[in-house]
């Protein structure tokens, strides 16, 4: 489906593609259903979790089945196909190397007034949601749990849906075992998010929940934000490809197909100034949207408006455009850097902002599993030097006791609350 940016008749469809968020009507209907599930899980714990697992995943579990047992992990090791462990180890090494470079650094600096700084502390307990519906995602285990471990998170809990044989995908279990995550629960969907938020008899309450999922999982995370922290409200996978006339159309086609296969709601879009490229791709993928633009500059403007999760640049000298791209979750430069590399192997987390969130947020990183704490230590001399300005600001806002908290340290308020003469001995202890 080729759309031309300069054709008035095509503009409404292009606008619909760019503004791809789900309708408020659909979101409201889903949230109303989720509120019922939330209330049940919060009040009835495991009983509600088991009931919704049977309803949505069509598997009847008992409480003793919820947590994955060590023997299940051991059995999974012998089930996985030859070569998987070697490949996933290489991917893990790349992720470790990349993420360790982005660890935020604490700092302390002495000034004339005292000592200032920031220290980073890991979040204590993190819940990771690993999808398991249409396809298993052992890669998501690596892209989340490794990052959490580098941040120093002590307790990492994974929730992922079971199959009808009451089992978790063996590749997911092996990936978790490889990086040392042993606490895994057989629960998926919104009930998993609510379990991690409030805790049940079997599943612990956590402080933050991360990981991708379907619309029910994403909106469940949105609903519990405030009870716990969340990474983002992630929607279906998406890729935008900007290609010029020298691009290889076969590379483009398979990049589009690779992201489209995640989910029926996934978004895969080609933007190009080349009629030839548009026509060749349209022959193979007639249902995929292709937007013809007048030039690369217009394509960049469209990218920044769309703010894609994944952006592939199939153009001459793609590095020249980096400075112009303001909004994208991850950028893949050149025909030999498909999004799939980022999905599995390169090192950055594949948990990325979708639905236009790249305008104001980033992909999952080490700092998402940490808290930044400010450190302030003024000397008496530093306080006295700056007291006048601090008092002025406090009094301007009408906050008298804020001002008094400074004045008392200057001896201007005596122990009985009266104004003092400013001598040090009137400060009191």
**Residues carrying an active site annotation:** 309-310
CB–CB of 118/373 below 8 Å? yes
User: What span, in angstroms and rounded, lies between the C-alpha atoms of 230 and 209?
Assistant: 5
Strand-pair partners of 66: none
Quote the crossing angle between the two packed helices 189-198 and 215-224, to the nearest 10°: 20
The label of the residue with tokens 């996978």 reads 237
Q: How many residues does the chain have?
A: 429
**Pairing relationship of beta strands 370-378 and 330-333 according to DSSP bridges:** unpaired
User: What span, in angstroms and rounded, lies between the C-alpha atoms of 315 and 312?
Assistant: 9
Give CB contacts under 8 A, 24+ apart, made by 31-38: 31/219, 31/222, 31/223, 34/190, 34/216, 34/219, 34/220, 34/223, 35/223, 37/190, 37/191, 37/194, 37/220, 38/190, 38/194, 38/220, 38/223, 38/224
CB–CB of 331/325 below 8 Å? yes
Phi-psi region of 400 (alpha: psi -120 to 50; beta: other; left: phi over 0): alpha
User: What span, in angstroms and rounded, lies between the C-alpha atoms of 235 and 22?
Assistant: 9
User: What span, in angstroms and rounded, lies between the C-alpha atoms of 381 and 174?
Assistant: 59
225: tokens are: 């934000």
What CA–CA distances, in Å, run from 279 to 167, 244, 274, 276, 339? 46, 13, 9, 5, 22
User: What span, in angstroms and rounded, lies between the C-alpha atoms of 166 and 290?
Assistant: 43
């Amino acid at each position: 489906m080729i759309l031309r940016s300069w054709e008035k008749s095509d503009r409404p469809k292009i606008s619909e593609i760019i503004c791809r968020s789900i309708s408020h009507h659909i979101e409201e209907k889903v949230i109303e259903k989720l509120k019922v599930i939330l209330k049940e899980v919060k009040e009835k714990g495991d009983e509600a979790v088991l009931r919704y697992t049977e309803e949505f995943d069509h598997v009847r579990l008992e409480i003793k089945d919820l947590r994955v047992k060590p023997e299940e992990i051991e059995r999974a090791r012998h089930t996985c196909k030859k070569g998987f462990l070697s490949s996933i180890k290489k991917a893990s090494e790349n992720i470790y190397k990349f993420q360790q470079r982005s660890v935020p650094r604490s700092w302390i600096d002495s000034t004339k007034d005292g000592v200032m700084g920031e220290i980073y502390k890991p979040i204590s307990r993190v819940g990771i949601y690993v999808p398991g519906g249409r396809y298993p995602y052992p890669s998501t285990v690596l892209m989340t749990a490794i990052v959490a471990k580098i941040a120093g998170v002590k307790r990492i809990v994974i929730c992922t849906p079971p199959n009808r044989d009451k089992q978790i995908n063996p590749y997911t279990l092996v990936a978790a075992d490889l990086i040392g995550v042993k606490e895994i629960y057989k629960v998926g969907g919104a009930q998993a998010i609510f379990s991690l938020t409030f805790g049940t008899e079997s599943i612990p309450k956590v402080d933050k929940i991360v990981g991708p999922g379907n619309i029910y999982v994403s909106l469940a995370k949105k609903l519990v934000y405030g009870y716990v922290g969340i990474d983002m409200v992630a929607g279906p996978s998406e890729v935008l490809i900007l290609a010029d006339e020298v691009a290889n159309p076969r590379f483009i086609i398979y990049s589009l197909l690779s992201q489209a296969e995640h989910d029926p709601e996934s978004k895969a879009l080609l933007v190009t100034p080349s009629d030839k490229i548009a026509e060749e791709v349209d022959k193979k993928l007639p249902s995929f949207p292709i937007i013809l633009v007048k030039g690369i500059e217009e394509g960049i403007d469209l990218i920044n408006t769309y703010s894609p999760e994944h952006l592939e640049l199939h153009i001459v000298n793609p590095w020249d455009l980096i400075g112009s791209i303001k909004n994208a979750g991850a950028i893949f430069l050149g025909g030999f850097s498909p999004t799939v590399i980022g999905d599995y192997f390169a090192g950055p987390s594949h948990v990325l902002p979708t639905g236009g969130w790249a305008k104001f947020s980033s992909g999952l990183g080490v700092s998402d599993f940490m808290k930044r704490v400010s450190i302030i230590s003024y000397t008496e001399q530093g306080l006295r030097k700056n007291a006048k300005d601090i008092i002025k600001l406090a009094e301007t806002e009408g906050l008298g006791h804020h001002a008094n908290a400074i004045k008392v340290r200057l001896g201007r308020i005596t122990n009985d609350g009266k104004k003092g003469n400013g001598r040090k001995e009137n400060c009191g202890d």
